[in-house]
A and B are shown apart, each in its own frame.
Chain A
Amino acid sequence: EVQLLESGGNLVQPGGSLRLSCEASGFTFSSLAMSWVRQAPGKGLEWVSSFSGSSGSTYYADSVKGRFTISRDISKNTLYLQMNSLRADDTAVYYCAKGGNSGNYRDGFDIWGQGTMVTVSS
């Protein structure tokens, strides 16, 4: 069974840092795209960042570029999101999502984790 388990969400002060983790199981982690999508309280979904499984390329939304870094540890089947210079508008539930089984990056998001809450406030 495919499972994604996010962790690392917490309350952090503006300007602070946090690292989110997404532990994956039930599929070949190294060959598929993995992404982070967030949802601010009462708002819609916002794509944050993706890691292409095949090429190893990384991509970021303009709103987080230069502040967030996506990475993965294949030996641990874990995806990370390092978040620096956090702002109040980064407050959201952060979801980890797996790409489609074909390995085609453009197939979007297939399976989603349950999310982890990040609150940026003083």
Chain B
Amino acid sequence: QTVVTQEPSFSVSPGGTVTLTCGLSSGSVSTGHYPSWYQQTPGQAPRTLIYSTNTRSSGVPDRFSGSIVGNKAALSITGAQAEDESDYYCVLYMGSGIWVFGGGTKLTVL
């Protein structure tokens, strides 16, 4: 069974840059997996940040960007702000209508 991997936790200083990754237990992530990224704060519904690798969702600040780095999908936050402290999830399209989420990354801004 394919597992989507994310760093369990990450920290960044205010104003700093951080790159979160989304990989596969077996194989490489490509644009054909249409990676998407979601932000979630406790008790709230997820918010879509990036879809189809690098397309920002409406209203998302341009400090958030998506890409493929090596064999993983990546979400970069440039100029991190305190309000960016959240859980971040990626999801990959596996074909045949199937989506698989990663376990999420808890980002701390301090």
| B96 x A45 contact (CB < 8 A) | no
Q: Is the CB of A108 within 8 A of B93?
A: yes
B: residues with CB less than 8 A from A are: 34, 36, 38, 40, 45-48, 51-52, 55, 57, 87, 89, 91, 93, 96-104
User: Can you report 6 A-B residue pairs in the complex whose CB atoms are below 8 A from each other?
Assistant: A45-B38, A45-B46, A45-B91, A45-B101, A47-B101, A58-B97
Contact B47 A47 (CB under 8 A): no
Do the beta carbons of B34 and A45 come within 8 Å of each other? no
Chain A 86-122 per-residue mask, 1 if CB under 8 angstroms from chain B, else 0 = 0000000001000010001111111111110000000
Rounded to whole angstroms, the CA-CA distance of A47 and B91 in the bound complex is: 9
Residue from A45, A104, A115 with most neighbouring chain B CB atoms (10 Å): A45
Contact A112 B97 (CB under 8 A): no
- A residues lining the B interface (CB < 8 Å): 35, 37, 44-47, 50, 52, 57-59, 61, 95, 100, 104-115
Q: Which residue of B lies closest to A33 (CB)?
A: B97
Contacts of B52 in A (CB 8 A): 100, 104, 106-108
Question: Are B91 and A95 in touch, CB under 8 angstroms?
Answer: no
Structural contact, A95 and B101, CB atoms closer than 8 A: no
Which residues of chain A are within 8 angstroms of B45 by Cβ–Cβ distance?
A: 95, 112-115
Contact A47 B46 (CB under 8 A): no
Contact A112 B46 (CB under 8 A): yes
Q: Report the minimal beta-carbon distance from B14 to chain A, rounded to whole angstroms.
A: 26
A105 vs B96: C-alpha distance when bound (angstroms):
11
Residue on B with the closest CB to A106?
B34
**CB-based contact B47/A59 at 8 Å:** no
Bound complex: CA A39 to CA B45 (Å): 10
Q: CB distance B89 to A107 under 8 Å?
A: no
A87 to B22 CA separation, bound complex (whole angstroms) = 30
Closest to B57 in A: A110
Q: Given the known A-B contacts A57-B97, A95-B45, A100-B51, are A108 and B91 also in contact in the complex, defined by CB atoms under 8 Å?
A: yes
**Which residue of A50, A57, A95 is within 8 Å of B99 (Cβ)?**
A50
A-chain residues with CB within 8 Å of residue B89 when the two chains form the complex = 44-45
Q: Measured between alpha carbons, how far is A58 from B98 in the docked complex, in Å? A: 10
